[in-house]
Amino acid sequence: MMNDLVLDIPSTYLKIEEKTSQVGFSMSSDKFIGSLLKNLSASKPTGNFLEIGTGTGLALAWVVDGMDTNSKIISIDNDPKLLEVAVEAFQGDNRVQLVCADGEQWLEQYNGEKFDLIFADSWPGKYCAVDKTLNLLKPGGFYVIDDMLPQAGWPDGHQQKAEALIDYLENREDLHLTKINCSTGIIIATKI
């Protein structure tokens, strides 16, 4: 039973998945992180969410599937070709704001409402501008990152960066941290 495949895949995900393979994007989060994001977003009615690293929108499809009608999400990516797939998929959904920008610059300039959930799926928010990102989290809000277990394609020195990030998060006094040793390695932090 615990080894069952992920169920209840969002219909938007399936549409995006086909386009993702057409544009040759291979760095998407897997369905397990997607399912987790769906559940976390569903736990925050009227939530305000942020995704840093839209890609083609596969993880975004899960977050949106968990959102209620009064929730909203900003999703940022710096690659217009990838973002184009997400724009097409979420066209007409006024809960979704897609932004083509450098994530680190966007984080430094943002001064709006804090977030109930931040999924940092790119360098900004995970390996740079981490303090700014965590300061944008509401008390009780979730900070989620994946790709924290060693992977074959990591460049030299990346393992040390991942370990330093984990150490940094473990030593922050304003977070409760859970490390999940499945999928690509997931960390969920709750702001206290």
pLDDT in tens, 80-103: 999 999 999 999 999 999 999 999
Tokens of 14: 């399936």
What pLDDT is recorded for position 69?
98
Residue 138 belongs to a domain: yes
Report the CATH number that the domain containing residue 121 is assigned in CATH. Answer: 3.40.50.150
Residue 84 belongs to a domain: yes
Q: Decide if pLDDT at 2 tops 60.
A: no
Residue 154 belongs to a domain: yes
CA angle 46, 138, 127 (to 5 degrees): 115
What pLDDT is recorded for position 170?
97
Is 102:53 a contact under the CB 8 Å cutoff?
no
Rg (CA), the chain: 16
The alpha carbon of residue 39 and the mean position of all alpha carbons in its chain are separated, in whole angstroms, by: 13
What pLDDT is recorded for position 31?
86
Residue 1 belongs to a domain: no
Strand positions, DSSP E, the chain: 48-52, 72-77, 96-100, 115-120, 137-145, 175-180, 186-191
Residue 11 belongs to a domain: no
Task: Tell me how far apart the alpha carbons of residues 147 and 30 are, in angstroms, rounded to a whole number.
Answer: 10
Q: Decide if pLDDT at 60 tops 90.
A: yes
Residue 54 belongs to a domain: yes
Residue 8 belongs to a domain: no
Q: Decide if pLDDT at 121 tops 90.
A: yes
Q: What's the whole-number average pLDDT of the chain?
A: 93
What pLDDT is recorded for position 25?
74
Domain that holds residue 176: 29-191
Number of domain units in the chain:
1
Tell me the average pLDDT across 121-129. Answer: 95
Tokens of 69: 């009608």
Percent of the chain with pLDDT over 90: 79
pTM of the model: 0.94
Residue 147 belongs to a domain: yes
